[in-house]
Amino acid sequence: MRLVLLGAPGCGKGTQGQLLAEQYRIPEISTGDLLRKAVAAGTPLGKAAKAVMDAGKLVSDEIVMGVIRERMQQPDTRQGFILDGFPRNLAQAEQLDELFEELGRPIDLAVLIEVEVDSILQRLLGRRTCVSCGASYNMFYAPPRMDDSCDECGGRLKRRSDDNEETIGNRLRIYETQTLPVVERYREQGRLRVIQGSGEIQDVFRALSKAVEEVRATLGSRDRSAAIRRAVARKQNTARGGSAAKAGGSGKAAKKAAAAPAAGKKKAAKKKVQAKKKVQAKKKTAGKKAAVSRKKAVAGKKVAKKKITKKKVSAKKVAKKKTVTKRKATARKAPVKKKAASKKKAAKKAARKKAAKKKPARKR
């Protein structure tokens, strides 16, 4: 059973927690007690915490989480525990959930012990504790037979340094502003039970035990069904192992069959990953091909353009050449033409001369 006791300072968490611890044989872990021990031992942690505690303020989450983590390592917490005075704020509650998730030990139940403010003041101001055996008294309604000494062992009775009016005011304010949201958190999660803390210690304890027992019963059936599920799974695994042994006969085959579901799952996951990789590779090569063909197309276009401009240039060149050769040819033909013309002219002249010579003869 893993339990968190919540309530204002002086509501009786410590007293009820100890009674529950005896009943269920699990440790009661009070962060206040752990811190007070560190203060008394004068450890660095205790020195850091003392002034804060005397002022009725909260010690840093880091310090308190460290204390809790260390305590949870101890083997007596394996069967369960009762947390008293922790968590005190939302940050601690969240970190506690994370820690228990890590350890695989979630909180089963949170119980809020409700008490009127008036009786809280009476409880805290009258509270005395024996320094030798830890027995508690109240000077108003459960005083010792002799002032300042323990009825059980005669030890000295001491008042806590933070049980004075000013510090109590601070502690109550912090409870209202920082711890009540934690109560709401457990309520919302459906893990909260509320009991009345006014009245006789044994009456309160009866109410508390009843709440715990009810939850334990549901946890019992939950644990039982979990155990049944585990047993069925074990049987199925053995059956698979058995059939493999029948088929193959060897111990190795049986082991293989027992590991089959896990191996099957692994194989399927591997196949999935491989298929994904294949698709990705295909996509990659397709993309590359497309890019290459795009490049080729662009290059082809460029080449074609070049070819066209080349053709144009060569056509122009050819045309130019043609006109040049034409001109050259006409230039070459020109003197021949001139020669022919002058020859023609000379022939005409000669003919005219001949005719002139012939004419006078005819007159005669």
Contact window for ligand AMP (CB under 6 A) among 58-66, 72-80, 211-219, 287-295:
58-66
190: helix, coil or strand?
coil
Q: How far is the CB of 179 from ligand AMP (least distance, A)?
A: 9
Annotated active-site residue in 160, 187, 191, 240: 160
Q: Is residue 50 a contact point for ligand AMP (CB under 6 A)?
A: no
Nearer Cβ to ligand AMP, position 16 or 31? Answer: 31
Nearer Cβ to ligand AMP, position 92 or 212? Answer: 92
Task: Write down the residue that tokens 């122009």 correspond to.
Answer: 316
Rule CB under 6 A: choose which of 171, 183, 192, 208 binds ligand AMP.
Answer: 171
**Backbone φ, ψ for residue 305 (5° rounding):** -60, -45
Rule CB under 6 A: choose which of 3, 20, 35, 82 binds ligand AMP.
Answer: 35
Annotated active-site residue in 2, 50, 88, 123: 88
Contact window for ligand AMP (CB under 6 A) among 82-90, 137-145, 208-216, 276-284:
82-90
Q: Is residue 58 a contact point for ligand AMP (CB under 6 A)?
A: yes
Q: Are 31 and 92 in contact (CB under 8 A)?
A: no
Query: Segment 107-166, which members bind ligand AMP (CB under 6 A)?
Result: 162
Q: Is 316 exposed, middle or buried (0-12, 13-18, 19+ CB in 10 A)?
A: exposed
Q: Is 171 assigned a catalytic role?
A: yes
Query: Segment 322-341, which members bind ligand AMP (CB under 6 A)?
Result: none
| Amino acid in position 285 | T
Q: How far is the CB of 163 from ligand AMP (least distance, A)?
A: 9
Q: Is 298 exposed, middle or buried (0-12, 13-18, 19+ CB in 10 A)?
A: exposed
Q: Is residue 64 a contact point for ligand AMP (CB under 6 A)?
A: yes
What is the distance between the alpha carbons of residues 55 and 174, in angstroms, rounded to a whole number? 11
Preceding amide of 106 cis, omega within 30: no
83: helix, coil or strand?
strand
Rule CB under 6 A: choose which of 7, 9, 17, 241 binds ligand AMP.
Answer: 9
Task: Give the helix, strand, coil percentages of the chain, each rounded to 5.
Answer: 70, 10, 20
Nearer Cβ to ligand AMP, position 122 or 149? Answer: 122
Q: Are 104 and 226 in contact (CB under 8 A)?
A: no
Q: Are 68 and 99 in contact (CB under 8 A)?
A: yes
Q: Is residue 260 a contact point for ligand AMP (CB under 6 A)?
A: no
Rule CB under 6 A: choose which of 5, 16, 82, 88 binds ligand AMP.
Answer: 88
Q: Which residues contact 58 (CB under 8 A, 6 or more apart)?
A: 52, 64, 88, 89, 174, 178
- CA–CA distance from 141 to each of 126, 131, 137, 148, 343 (Å)? 8, 20, 8, 15, 165
Q: Is 277 assigned a catalytic role?
A: no
**Chain contacts with ligand AMP (rule: CB under 6 A):** 9, 31-32, 35, 52-53, 56-59, 64, 85-86, 88, 92, 162, 171
Provide the annotated active-site residues: 13, 88, 127, 160, 171
